[in-house]
Amino acid sequence: MNNNNNEPSTETIAETENFLAWKAEEPDGEITYHIELNNVTVHFFEEEWKEFIALVRDLR
């Protein structure tokens, strides 16, 4: 979405009416993940994201 080398490149992963999940590739190459839950945003590094996804899958 963003072409400025100092800004992260972002991509929407999933979106509903109330929630948004997106990832950002930081200028240093690190990927971070973000979940917006109404007025709260939770930020994850890649290792934390993988653990969070495993947790969510176990909720089924």
- The residue extents of the domains of the chain are 9-58
Q: Which of 39, 6, 41 is nearest to 25 (CA)?
A: 6
CB contact set of 34 (below 8 Å; sequence gap of 6+): 21, 22, 23, 24, 41, 42, 43, 44
Reported as a single tens digit per residue, the pLDDT across 2-53 is: 556 788 999 999 999 999 999 999 999 999 999 999 899 999 999 999 999 9
The pLDDT assigned to 3 comes to 54
pLDDT at 56 over 90: yes
Give the pTM.
0.83
Torsion angle, alpha carbons of 53, 13, 29, 32, to 10? -50
Q: Give the Cα separation of 45 and 17 in Å (integer).
A: 25
The pLDDT assigned to 6 comes to 84
- The DSSP secondary-structure symbol of 11 reads E
